[in-house]
Amino acid sequence: MCLTIPGKIISINNQTARVSLGGETRDVFMGTVKGAKIGDWILATGNIGVRKINARDAREIISLLEDSKQINKNKIDLKLNDIFRRAWDRRLTKDDLLYLLRLQEDEDLAALYSEANVMRKTILKDFICIHGIIEFSNYCQNDCAYCGLRSANRHLKRYRMTINEITAAAGKAIQRGYKLLVLQSGEDFFYSDDALAEIVRKIKEKNRVFIFMSVGERGYECYKKLKAAGASGVLFRYETSNPRLFKKLHPRGKNLARRLEHLKFMKELGFFIATGSLIGLPGQTEKDLLNDLLTTKKYANMVSMGPFIPTADTPLAKSPHTEEIKNWKVRMNLKMIAILRLLIPEARIPVVTALETLAGEDGRKQALHAGANSLMFNLTPAKYRPLYKIYGNKFYQKENIWEKYGLFKYEESYKMLEERMAKELERNEKQN
């Protein structure tokens, strides 16, 4: 479901209201909104009023989307201004990216976030989308050194949802208004390729919804079946673009080349690609992060990047996790979001749970102010949710306000996604 920024009615003439919205005024058709008066707050898609919203909720949504800090452009260093100009011309260089990655001063960072936020608003307008994720199995055949689901972890109680449970959970989410669902699991071959395809087909046959699969390295044939069954996208991180670091973290013969090979054929198969890496892995360098930006640019329609959180019962459980390190990761994650917004202006950039886990509720606001434009809510059934422990203390909160005001009853939300995805897929095709 998608959510737009609320506007305040400043005048009404017949069925048209003039609305102050995100710093501009807009004429909005009010045929579908009954009884609205001057001073009321409304939600609109484009020039069509959708519904009234109370003032308190309106302010809450605005505070999440709008940064009130004003940046004095004259005060920003000239080099930064040059880089911003190149971003708008889509000519950012590797040196530019490195310069941005190295920014430390609060004022410079505020300028970067602000520019990214302006880019988001200009390119993607004033709405953000909310997607859902259902984690349907925590079994995994892999042994990724950072992940609590690794097969060597004998302390984790394992679960698998049945096909009926998965389709029921998806059905419930769709009824609540979700238009894009990610189905995620460990690498669990208990579900055959055909079983996964059947799940997608069953959900799609009854609903207008986009399904993204996040099931790991299962080879070309599997993804071909998933595409044929109606899956639209994949969530598949390359984890780190440094092949040596990748090898160190992924035993049992896993390697980066095979991971990237998957991304390549996924793109060729016509999937919308959500990918990215972990930020703050032990042994990761600045050069690695720079290459992560470039690798993400190469593959991603949607960015999925989050901080590494040390997890109990894994080889990296004892990695340093001081307040200072946590803050560094949060800051670096926000910086990467902002840089990626400048580097891939059309990208869908969700705020990931790991960032919220480290930064709390405020992390969401900070990320949206730094150029992120979507949220991913956990819709795993409550009895399984605590068991999907890729890392501990995962952030989870009931998201009433978002669901309440998502414009989910309306076909617009689906059409908007469809249109955007089509554009992105066209872009992918040109690259293939």
187 touches ligand SAH by CB under 6 A: yes
As a whole number of angstroms, the distance between CA 59 and CA 18 comes to 19
Q: Are the beta carbons of 213 and 269 closer than 8 angstroms?
A: no
Does residue 278 bind ligand SAH (CB under 6 A)?
A: yes
Measured between alpha carbons, how far is 271 from 426 in angstroms, rounded to an integer? 11
Instruction: Pinpoint the alpha helices (H) of 177-321.
Output: 193-206, 219-229, 243-249, 256-268, 286-299
Residue 411, number of CB atoms within 10 A of its CB:
11
Beta carbon of residue 286, minimum distance to ligand SAH (angstroms, whole number): 20
- Cβ nearer to ligand SAH, comparing 342 with 376: 376
CA 373/CA 347 separation, integer angstroms: 9
Q: Smallest gap, in angstroms, from Cβ of residue 248 to ligand SAH?
A: 15
Cβ closest to ligand SAH, residue 120 vs residue 364? 364
Q: Looking at this protein, which amino acid is placed at residue 111?
A: A
Q: State which amino acid sits at residue 312.
A: A
Nearer to ligand SAH, 305 or 339 (CB): 305
> Considering the complex, what minimum distance in angstroms separates the CB of residue 390 from ligand SAH?
4
Residue 138 in contact with ligand SAH, rule: CB under 6 A: no
* Binding region for ligand SAH (CB under 6 A) out of 53-61, 64-72, 93-101, 210-218: 210-218
Nearer to ligand SAH, 30 or 169 (CB): 169
Which of these segments, 53-61, 235-243, 292-300, 337-345, binds ligand SAH (CB under 6 A)?
235-243
Structure tokens at 290: 């720079």
Q: Say how far apart CA 82 and CA 48 lie, in whole Å.
A: 38
Nearest to ligand SAH of 65, 147 (CB atom): 147
Q: Which is nearer to ligand SAH, 107 or 187 (CB)?
A: 187
Taking the C-alpha atoms of residue 101 and residue 286, their distance in angstroms, rounded to an integer, is: 8
Q: Whose CB is nearest to ligand SAH? A: 216
Q: What is the DSSP letter of 147?
A: -
Verify binding: residue 186, ligand SAH, rule CB under 6 A.
Answer: yes
Nearer to ligand SAH, 40 or 239 (CB): 239
How many residues can be counted in the chain?
A: 432
Bridge partners of 307, per DSSP, are 279
Residue type at position 226? L
**Which residue, 64 or 337, has its beta carbon nearer to ligand SAH?**
337
Nearest distance, CB of residue 119 and ligand SAH, angstroms:
26
Tokens of 145: 């050194």
Is there a contact between 65 and 126 (Cβ–Cβ < 8 Å)?
A: yes
Strand-pair partners of 272: 233
The footprint of ligand SAH on this chain (CB under 6 A) covers a number of residues equal to: 19
Residue 147 sits in the site that holds ligand SAH (CB under 6 A): yes
Nearer Cβ to ligand SAH, position 115 or 292?
292
Identify residues 24-63 at the interface with ligand SAH (CB under 6 A). Answer: none
Site residues (CB under 6 A) for ligand SAH, limited to 378-417: 390-391
Which of 45, 137, 184, 241 touches ligand SAH by CB under 6 A? 184
Residues 295-354 that bind ligand SAH (CB under 6 A): 306, 308-309, 311, 354
DSSP string for 73-130: GGGS-HHHHHHHHHHHTT---HHHHHHHHT--SHHHHHHHHHHHHHHHHHHH-SEEEE
CA proximity to 384, closest of 226, 58, 157:
157
CA angle 355, 359, 360 (to 5 degrees): 105
Q: Is 133 in the site for ligand SAH (CB under 6 A)?
A: no
- Phi and psi of 44, rounded to 5°? -140, 150
- Minimal distance in Å, beta carbon 188 to ligand SAH? 8
Residue 214 near ligand SAH by CB under 6 A: yes
Closer residue to ligand SAH in complex, CB, 65/379 = 379
Give, as one character, the DSSP assignment of residue 191.
S
Among 40, 96, 143, 239, binds ligand SAH (CB under 6 A): 239
Q: How many helices (H) and strands (E) does the chain have?
A: 15, 16
- Least separation in angstroms between residue 366's CB and ligand SAH is 18
Q: Cα-atom radius of gyration of the chain, to the nearest Å?
A: 22
Would you count residue 249 as binding ligand SAH (CB under 6 A)? no
Toward ligand SAH, which CB reaches closer, 177 or 216? 216
Binding site residues, ligand SAH, CB under 6 A: 146-147, 184, 186-187, 214-216, 236-237, 239, 278, 306, 308-309, 311, 354, 390-391
